[in-house]
Amino acid sequence: MKTRREKIIELLSKHEEMTLLELADLTNVPVKVVVQDLDSVRKTIRSEKKRIEVRPAICMNCNYTFSGRSRISDPHKCPECHSERISPQKFRIASS
């Protein structure tokens, strides 16, 4: 029996890219739990010379790109135009 975190590692290694919501749906936990899991996974896969790659969230109104964030959770509001229409971050695991 795999743990949820092992399942997340498997999903992110196999699939191209996944959002927090997709991971939450597939593992049957709330998004905030997936955020905690990814924080932990980010540390544990380091020893395997792998890392989590993040495609940044983008404001759908003004195209502001949320690059260089260290937090796993999705941003809710654009700092430029204050729109809340944000396309979510996408994650995958890659060899570093």
Minimum distance of Zn ion from residue 53's CB (angstroms): 23
Q: Which of 1-9, 19-27, 68-76, 80-88 is the region at the interface with Zn ion (rule: CB under 5 A)?
A: 80-88
In the set 77, 83, 94, 96, which binds Zn ion (CB under 5 A)? 83
**HEC secondary structure over the chain:** CCCHHHHHHHHHHHCCCECHHHHHHHHCCCHHHHHHHHHHHHHHHHHHCEEEEEECCEECCCCCECCCCCCCCCCCCCCCCCCCCEECCEEEEEEC
Q: Does 91 bind Zn ion (CB under 5 A)?
A: no
Minimum distance of Zn ion from residue 66's CB (angstroms): 10
Q: Does 66 bind Zn ion (CB under 5 A)?
A: no
Q: Which residues within the stretch 2-61 sit at the binding site for Zn ion (CB under 5 A)? A: 59, 61
User: Residue 60: what are its φ and ψ, rounded to 5°?
Assistant: -80, -10
Q: Where does this chain bind Zn ion (CB under 5 A)?
A: 59, 61-62, 64, 78, 80-81, 83
